[in-house]
Amino acid sequence: MLLGVHVSISGHIYEAITRAQDLGCNTMQIFSRDPRQWRRSKLEAKDIAEFRKRREKSNISPVFVHIPYLINLASPYNILYNSSVKAYIEDIREVEALGGEYIVTHMGSHKKSTELQGLKRITQALNKILDKTAKSSVSILLENTAGSGSWLGYKFQHQRLIIDGIEDKNRVGICFDTCHAYVAGYDLASLEGYKATIAEVNDLIGLKRLKLIHLNDSKDKLASHRDRHEHIGKGQIGLEGFRRMICDPRLKDVAFILETPKDSSNADKINLQAVRKLKRD
């Protein structure tokens, strides 16, 4: 089982590798920079070299890098839209320099335009990004969202429409966030709901494009559209909901990353143990 957590890059980015190893992870996710600010500087070459060196000595693969929150490829405002495209291209190049395999992105907010216009904007942006990074080995994963406000991606039809409009589909897949799906209305807590959800993903997108699952329980109720993550088994989805997913043979090659609350020094360790126990049992 490919299992990891979203790891802090505080100090130096290469320290994330050591943190993941100390938790017994064989995959991981990071931010390559401050997710709440525009880029202020590039990673130093010596830090990139040390990251790659430590990773080569580890068993961590693949490495996922989450796009910063400020980037909005669906924005109707040209200044933000163009800045987002430029920053995204820079981030892909940085992920490639680090040796990362995937970049994970929320699908953006259409703000005061329409969903259809937002989906068109993000499709156009991704086509430009993929063209400008045509020689890159880094793939893009579209993450589903909780559906609050004007955020796109709360139903898998959105990912389908975007992928349909992308010219080079070879470097595009999806990331499935369990908390986001549940509060968007996909009932992962029940057997029937789980079966229906996986069937929809397979029918609309294809499970071959599902490369990453964010394992997060939900503090809030089904279809509440409130994005608040909870510890594994302590929320509305529950242990059986997660057991069903991690033991599904169709998902045996998919990576699982925890983005659960870090409200104690051993929170990641406890959540990882909970998932490993479900897999063993």
Domain encompassing residue 177: 2-280
* pLDDT tens column, 40-67: 888 999 999 999 999 999 999 999 999 9
Q: Which parts of 200-242 are beta strand (E)?
A: 210-215, 217-218, 229-230
DSSP-based helix, strand, coil % in the chain, nearest 5? 45, 15, 40
Q: Using the structure block, give the residue that is written with the tokens 């880029």.
A: 39
Q: Residue 38's pLDDT is what?
A: 82
Residue 26 has pLDDT above 80, yes or no: yes
Catalytic residue among 94, 101, 143, 217: 143
Catalytic residue among 36, 40, 192, 280: 36
Residue 253 has pLDDT above 90, yes or no: yes
Residue closest to 91 by CA, chosen among 53, 133, 51: 133
Summary mean pLDDT of the chain: 96
Q: Residue 276's pLDDT is what?
A: 97
CB distance 36 to 68 below 8 Å: yes
Q: Residue 41's pLDDT is what?
A: 83
Active site residue 143: yes
Catalytic residue among 55, 121, 209, 214: 214
* pLDDT tens column, 183-200: 999 999 999 999 999 999
Catalytic residue among 91, 187, 220, 227: 227
Entry pTM: 0.96
Active site residue 180: yes
| Number of domains making up the chain | 1
* pLDDT tens column, 86-124: 999 999 999 999 999 999 999 899 998 999 999 999 999
Catalytic residue among 110, 180, 231, 244: 180
| pLDDT band at residue 170 using 50, 70 and 90 as cut-offs | very high
Active site residue 50: no
Active site residue 69: yes
Active site residue 259: yes
* pLDDT tens column, 153-164: 999 999 999 999
- Which pair of tokens denotes residue 69? 């929150």
* Average of per-residue pLDDT across 10-36: 94
CATH number for 105: 3.20.20.150
